[in-house]
Structure 1
Amino acid sequence: MNILLTGSTGFVGKQLTLQLLGQGHSVYALARNKKKADNLKASVPDHLQDRLYMVEGNIAEDMAGVSDEQIEQLQGRIDTVYHIAAYLSFDDREKDQLFHINVNGTRHILELAKKLHVKNFFHVSTAYTLGDQLHAKEELHSLERSFVNYYEKSKCEAEHLVFEYKDDFHINIFRPSIIVGDSKTGEAESTFALYGVIRSFQLMKRRIERQKSATPEKIRFVCNEKAAQNLVPVDYVVNVLVAGLEHAEQNKIYHITNSHPPSNAFVFELLKSELDFYGVELVPTTFEGGLTDQELKFNEPMRVFQEYLKKTLHFDDSNTQELLAKSHLQPLDLNERVLRTIISGKVNA
């Protein structure tokens, strides 16, 4: 197949590009500039380079910034679009940017796909379009609900927009939860979520070691230890996305989530073990004892994630399990060994 990717230079997009090329597909990668294009090319083995084509463009612009000349060259040649590119921020001060990239940008790539006469449009969204609900089904969520932040709302609006084009091509929405490193190597290109926690722990450990004083009392980190975090390795995400090429059913939504997510307590015990840093204790979000200035600095990077650290969300993934079965792929098993590999991959990077 000939496949057009947005977000091909990002964490998921790069891994998806490599797998598609490895399976014999041709990839047309949309890139905003030469530097990003060159970085992607450098990650692709020489024997696969002849099926990687760079397309200059920017989803923030009409027709995704693709020139009329390139549109004419691609017309009728692209079978499938994977729309992965998005703006990820939980800072509500960036509301305008979030909606411009995540909603208008999706409209721009949809219009380009329509112009190119593609057969399939695969929209990579997020599992966190459920707003303040605790359970999500594999269906469109109403926009008439409260959202934790504008990122969630922008992604939910984008999903509704995609379904408006269901008569133009075969559409599917894929909703990954919290994407972490490769399950086999731990390799990751992310500073978000789990990796923000790891970074905070590393900095706090160094700060305490520099103090060269008696062992201090344990540093408190605000987090509900019983709540679970829905972590999914990037290779699992990519496997589901590729399986969709052959087996996704029209207009279906697929949760790329973890049916048995680890608790915060479990994740943090592994993290403390890998860092050899046990001077931290988890305290609930209802903690009223007051944090020290040092603890406030420790917790500050994760402040925007507090709503996620205090609750367990449940995602139905029945559609995805059917997709995996048809593709002869195993369900996700994020066991202790795999999670330790993912954490150590960042700790030792």
Structure 2
Amino acid sequence: MNLTGGKISGTVLLTGVTGGLGAELLPRLLRRHPDCEVAALTRGGTPRQAQDRLEAALDFARLGPEERARVSLLHGDVSHPRFGLSDADWRALASRVGRVFHLAASVDFDLPLAESRAANVDSAREVLAFCGEAARGMRDFRLNYVSTAYVSGRRRGRLMEDELYLGQTFCNGYEQSKFEAEQLVRQAAARLPLTIYRPSQIIGESSEGRIRKFFGYYEFLKLAERGRMPVLPADPLARPDLVPADYVCEAMLHFDADPGAVGRCYHLTAGLERSLSFERIFSQMYRELAARRLDGKGPAKPRMFRPEELEWMASPEELRRFHLSPLKLLLRTYRAYLESERDFDCEATQASLARAGIALPDIESALWLSAGYALGARFGQTGRAGAARSGAARQPA
């Protein structure tokens, strides 16, 4: 592995390439470092299944033939001992890898804690063992580890980048398992050059709104489009922290090239001042749905209640429809993120990135584009081009 002028030449190990963030990072990694090759660790019941999953990610990444030729399939599982590889293959891989981007994670909030740990903590442990082997032979070795801003759990107040455990409890097994995984990574920082990244809720990239994985906001959008959201169970004034995928990827690549980022943890978040309230987000959602109809009449925006107020503020008919709706299951999963906001400290990180020309995109514009992309590509409606031809498409109010 050589690092000259910030350019990587050699092999980069990338986990999570088939996820929403990995498919955005891959093309940027290849284009920023034209002399590197990427070993994409990919799960699959068979090598053919793993190859198919990787090909779908490469298609989403819009890679050309020369770029595809620089990506090789590594069939395995990041949470298995030695990634499920033979000892000889594992050591051979370690001998040529000088950069690791560990993005793979299970983001299923409903998994039991043991299963979340198997996916997130075990994978971190295996990646760290691999990095320990790889770092012995690589002068410029680096590990880039993607955590989550929500390792803060249920804590409130100002949430700082250099804090981890302050006695907090967690909203689900995902948060706790990512917290435990970050503990392992921080302990390894004494012997490995690494950087930790904590993104918040990732939405589509900011120029086209493209996104590979649809969860969180997009699950509510899907229900709204189908008229299956009889009420809005959210604090209208709370501001969820949403961040575009391209901002996260550009930030990681920037800090990866910065020797001063070794041993640091960065909140890749929007911050409260740049975040939108639920009232504004859902209002925009329903405006977008109306704008995609030729008559301009989309589903009516339902009344919004704080989740804890729902049972005594909603009408009997609203409650009846709610209890029959898939929204009830979504509320069980996401309630903790709908009833309050988190104040992630990110000013210094944003200022550092801005000096490098990496500015946080406008969140409202990115969300608007992302909603249009999701509706067109995922939910079976005509794309934004069709809405534009009808005169319905417009910028957010």
**For 1:272, which of 268, 278, 286 is the aligned residue?**
286
- Quick one: distance in 2 between partners of 1:199 and 1:67? 43
Q: Does 1:345 align with 2:373?
A: yes
- Quick one: distance in 2 between partners of 1:90 and 1:74? 32
User: 2:321 is aligned with what amino acid?
Assistant: Q
**For 1:292, which of 300, 319, 337 is the aligned residue?**
319
User: 2:148 is aligned with what amino acid?
Assistant: T
Identity %: 26
- Quick one: distance in 1 between partners of 2:83 and 2:247? 28
**For 1:328, which of 341, 344, 357 is the aligned residue?**
357
SS at match of 1:292: helix
| Cα deviation, residue 221, structure 1 | 1.7
| Cα deviation, residue 68, structure 1 | 2.5
Q: Does 1:249 align with 2:261?
A: yes
Report what 1:112 is aligned to. 130
SS at match of 1:36: helix
Asked whether the equivalents of residues 94 and 130 of structure 2 are also in contact (C-alpha less than 8 Å), the reply is no
- After TM superposition, the score normalised by the length of structure 2 is 0.79
- Quick one: distance in 2 between partners of 1:165 and 1:319? 25
SS at match of 2:288: helix
Q: Structure 1 residues 42 and 171 mapped into 2: Cα distance closer, same or farther (>3 Å)?
A: same
Q: Does 1:36 align with 2:53?
A: yes
| Cα deviation, residue 172, structure 1 | 1.2
Report what 2:179 is aligned to. 156
- Quick one: distance in 2 between partners of 1:16 and 1:67? 28
| Cα deviation, residue 163, structure 1 | 1.4
User: What stretches of structure 1 of length at least 5 have no aligned partner?
Assistant: 208-218
User: What stretches of structure 2 of length at least 5 have no aligned partner?
Assistant: 1-7, 45-49, 291-298, 378-397
| Cα deviation, residue 326, structure 1 | 4.9
User: 2:144 is aligned with what amino acid?
Assistant: F
Report what 2:200 is aligned to. 177
| Cα deviation, residue 294, structure 1 | 1.4
Q: Does 1:77 align with 2:99?
A: no
5 Å-filtered alignment, 1:136-285, equals 136-142=159-165, 144-204=167-227, 219-247=230-258, 249-259=261-271, 260-276=274-290, 277-285=299-307
| Cα deviation, residue 61, structure 1 | 0.8
Aligned length: 335
Asked whether the equivalents of residues 143 and 153 of structure 1 are also in contact (C-alpha less than 8 Å), the reply is no
Residue by residue, what CA displacement relative to the aligned partner does 1:224-260 show, whole Å, maximum 9, x if unpaired? 1100111111111111111122125121100110021
Q: Does 1:125 align with 2:147?
A: yes
SS at match of 1:186: coil
Q: Structure 1 residues 330 and 137 mapped into 2: Cα distance closer, same or farther (>3 Å)?
A: same
| Cα deviation, residue 140, structure 1 | 3.6
| Cα deviation, residue 74, structure 1 | 2.4
Asked whether the equivalents of residues 5 and 83 of structure 1 are also in contact (C-alpha less than 8 Å), the reply is yes
User: 1:274 is aligned with what amino acid?
Assistant: E
- Quick one: distance in 2 between partners of 1:51 and 1:341? 31
- Quick one: distance in 2 between partners of 1:275 and 1:236? 26
Q: Structure 1 residues 295 and 75 mapped into 2: Cα distance closer, same or farther (>3 Å)?
A: closer
SS at match of 1:190: coil
Asked whether the equivalents of residues 87 and 98 of structure 1 are also in contact (C-alpha less than 8 Å), the reply is yes
Instruction: Give the root-mean-square deviation of aligned CA atoms.
Output: 1.9
**For 2:330, which of 287, 302, 314 is the aligned residue?**
302
- Quick one: distance in 2 between partners of 1:220 and 1:188? 26
- After TM superposition, the score normalised by the length of structure 1 is 0.90
